[in-house]
Amino acid sequence: MTSTFTGAPYAGAGIRHRRPRRSPVPLVAQLLIWAGAAGVLGLWWSDTTAVVGPAGWLTGAGRITGLLAGYACAVLLALMARTPLLDHTVGTDRLARWHALGGRCTVSLALAHTLLIIWGYALTSHTGVVSQTSTLVLHYPDLLKGTIGFLLLVATGVLSARAARRRMSYETWHYLHFATYLAVFLAFGHQLSNGADFVGNRPAQAAWYALYVGVAALLAWYRFAVPVRRGLRHRMRVAAVHQEAPGVVSVHLTGEHLDELGGEPGQFLRWRFLARGLWWTANPYSLSAPAHPRHLRITVKSAGTHSAALAHLAPGTRVWAEGPYGGFTADRRTAAKVLLLAGGVGITPLRALFETLPGQVTLVHRARRDADLALRAEIDAIAARRGAVVHYVVDEPAGHASPLTAAGLSDLVPDLASHDVYLCGPPGMARAATAALREAGVPARRIHHASFAF
């Protein structure tokens, strides 16, 4: 079933918008990553005089894949250091995709390095593969630790596969990923102790130390020091918890100097509630209203142990927040017309954008039932104030919903192809919506997606 709310004509609907300047940071970041990989290959090339016979080729390939795997480990950690420059320009979702692709490449490189080195050394010493493996692990300096690090890295890669992630909670997945830090730490010593390109090569050792120490400094500052400093500075507490829909609550927070956080509509923070059973994890939830110097609000659907527990938070509970993060903001806008397309509790960041985006904005909120349309009264009030159109689409009763297809969306939003689209909803809905939007002629660069996936 579809219902529509239309506000009075908006005086600013005809405003023309200049195309925002695209940040060069994503391109520069990719160029730097590839330049670093080229530098690693150059290190091997400069240190290799000749490659002779099968053993030489296997060992050489093992050295190359080992160097690239070591470099890729540093890049992976740098991508997830939550550096504001990267997070706000590249975007959290895009960084996560880079990280996931890089993780698969890193595990593959590490596995290839291990197999190629064992095989090459076995041919050189005329021994069996099993005997050579035992010799390397037990008698080469730091290689036992390196082996443990390699096994941890492979295990983390397996647990990060989509099929495995579906079977675990966000909290479990998040903390298992801390094994990556231990894996990289254990493997680092092996790289310098056994790597033929580092032994006796002081400049190469210094460059490797600089790379890893620099990444460690970014992690220590942005993932640990900054959250602690902000927790002490802002002294946030839970003010109240209100139910918005079945299984959906809004958590109202107060604190000091909250304007310094700089949270923009569409962004999220990682919230750590210092209550029993919740203090040990920081989960990402979007702001569901524009930030105020003394007040913030998040709206959360019960989808796991952590999110369900928020309904029972007591006023006065201390809160630490990390962020804000994400590039799902007004800066992504490139067209005069905007469609906000929400699925279920995906309305959270879009409700904040709906209040603040200038010009002609249309909101489509899809849900299973009418009762699941959280924040509807607020959205109607905003639409009336700014003269915007809101379409509510529910699946029940069956047979009356507007389908999530190119034709269905075009019926709701005329001239759909000329819109920027901000999309937030469950993974299945987001995939279907993206396909429908592309079929309707919306360019990929105008589809801005905030992901629920982890």
pLDDT-derived band of residue 163, with 50, 70 and 90 as boundaries? low
Average pLDDT, integer, range 123-137: 90
Distances (CA, A) of 275 to 271, 320, 338: 12, 11, 40
Q: Could you give the 3-state DSSP secondary structure of residue 91? A: coil
Q: What is the 3-state secondary structure (H, E, C) of 137-191?
A: HHHCCCHHHHHHHHHHHHHHHHHCCHHHHCCCCHHHHHHHCCHHHHHHHHHHHHH
Q: Which are the contacts of 67, defined by CB distance < 8 A and separation ≥ 6? A: 40, 41, 43, 44, 195, 197
User: Would you say residue 317 has pLDDT above 90?
Assistant: yes
pLDDT of residue 114: 93
Average pLDDT, integer, range 381-387: 92
Q: Domain 235-325 maps to which CATH number in 3.40.50.12160, 3.40.50.410, 3.40.50.300, 2.40.30.10?
A: 2.40.30.10
Q: How far apart are CA 212 and CA 75, in angstroms?
A: 9
pLDDT tens-digit series, residues 399-436: 556 788 999 999 899 899 999 999 999 888 999 999 99
Domain ranges of the chain: 2-19+333-450, 25-230, 235-325
User: Would you say residue 173 has pLDDT above 80?
Assistant: no
Cα angle for residues 311, 392, 304 (degrees, 5° grid): 25
pLDDT of residue 1: 56
Phi–psi pair at 337, nearest 5 degrees? -105, 140
Q: How far apart are CA 435 and CA 438, in angstroms?
A: 5
Residue with tokens 């602690």: 228
2-19+333-450 is classed CATH 3.40.50.261: no
pLDDT of residue 289: 92
User: Would you say residue 39 has pLDDT above 90?
Assistant: yes
pLDDT-derived band of residue 13, with 50, 70 and 90 as boundaries? very low
Percent of residues, the chain, with pLDDT higher than 70: 90
The bridge status of strand 283-286 relative to strand 268-273 is antiparallel
pLDDT-derived band of residue 11, with 50, 70 and 90 as boundaries? very low
Q: Which are the contacts of 434, defined by CB distance < 8 A and separation ≥ 6? A: 423, 447, 449
Q: What is the CA radius of gyration of the chain?
A: 26
Average pLDDT, integer, range 438-451: 90
**2-19+333-450 and 235-325: same fold?**
no
Percent of residues, the chain, with pLDDT higher than 90: 44
Phi–psi pair at 320, nearest 5 degrees? -110, 140
